[in-house]
Structure 1
């Protein structure tokens, strides 16, 4: 019987939450533009279930533009202290407005105001410009900060999930799960 890769991921993430010193939910997100030129950056995983792995961002940012042009991405979790990695590949889709609203409402006020004030990934003439925009947003929204229409979540729906564990002598253990119908096919990869 094939193990459920989502349950295995949950177990590994719980171990990382207990043992990683910083941001166990940090994940490298790799995207590519319409011409296939790759780009990678760190984001924070904000949810996961059998549907996929969710992160949030400005949809007008470079990553948002790349995801609009090429709806596939890869994620890489690297838990150095545990000597483990998880690689996830699959199509990406926006999460619902309701999910984006709920997560945005859970963020700190400072993070909410930053999302309103920032033209993420666009050129910035000076730090003062950003700070002025932040102060203006703070004054404009003294109570509830509404989620900007261009800010929301994405879900990577996994087609492949690889679990990598370090072993002595570089004889690493690699398990690969490939989506197949309503389930998963499991195999191993050479180190």
Structure 2
């Protein structure tokens, strides 16, 4: 399997190629990424979220802004992510500052979600204590009744975030743990590309 490391000096080109291969081979959620943030005590926090958009401005995901990660990003608007595709024996890491996407972008993506997911965005008090599963289901049912016959709009607390990477690392598993690793670090006129020891 070729690493494609020598073919480009643009991390987005390589990212797009690897993501296309992951979408073709991974059974579940090839766009899953572990998202690391920092809490108010300076401790790292990590969870898996889905990449919902990628362009030259960065990597986009959506969440409840009142969740733990939303609160952490409000306090420290920076993050790191890692994609790991076990079947392809590859991973990509990226990190950088985070900003909110526009309301129009968030509205457009929210409208593509299944109705039950949109109702869940209204019903869930994400990251806060929940007494029982029945309590959550009742909250969803109440929101369903509230929006009976209407499409649920995006809740004001449901937002999109864009990570603008200042660095990428691409890792390809190779025999005998002699892996391929390449970093791309942003500079004003492009990217510095460096191959690393495994």
Residues 11-62 of structure 1: per-residue CA shift (max 9 Å, x gap): 0000000011111000000011132111100000000001000000000000
| Stretches of 4+ aligned residues off by more than 3 angstroms | none
SS at match of 1:149: coil
TM-score normalised by the chain length of structure 2? 0.94
For the Cα contact (< 8 Å) 1:2–1:186, is it kept in 2?
no
The reply on whether 1:43 has 2:49 as its aligned counterpart is yes
Q: Which residue of 2 aligns with 1:179?
A: 186
Residues 109-164 of structure 1: per-residue CA shift (max 9 Å, x gap): 01000100000000001111111110000000122101100001000000000000
The reply on whether 1:168 has 2:175 as its aligned counterpart is yes
Task: Name structure 2 gaps, 5 residues minimum.
Answer: 1-6
Residue 79 of structure 2 is aligned with which of 67, 73, 76? 73
User: How many residue pairs were aligned?
Assistant: 191
Root-mean-square deviation (Å): 1.0
TM-score normalised by the chain length of structure 1? 0.98
Q: What pairs with 1:3-18 in structure 2 (closer than 5 Å)?
A: 3-18=9-24
The reply on whether 1:89 has 2:95 as its aligned counterpart is yes
For the Cα contact (< 8 Å) 1:2–1:185, is it kept in 2?
no
Task: Name structure 1 gaps, 5 residues minimum.
Answer: none
Q: Which residue of 1 aligns with 2:3?
A: none
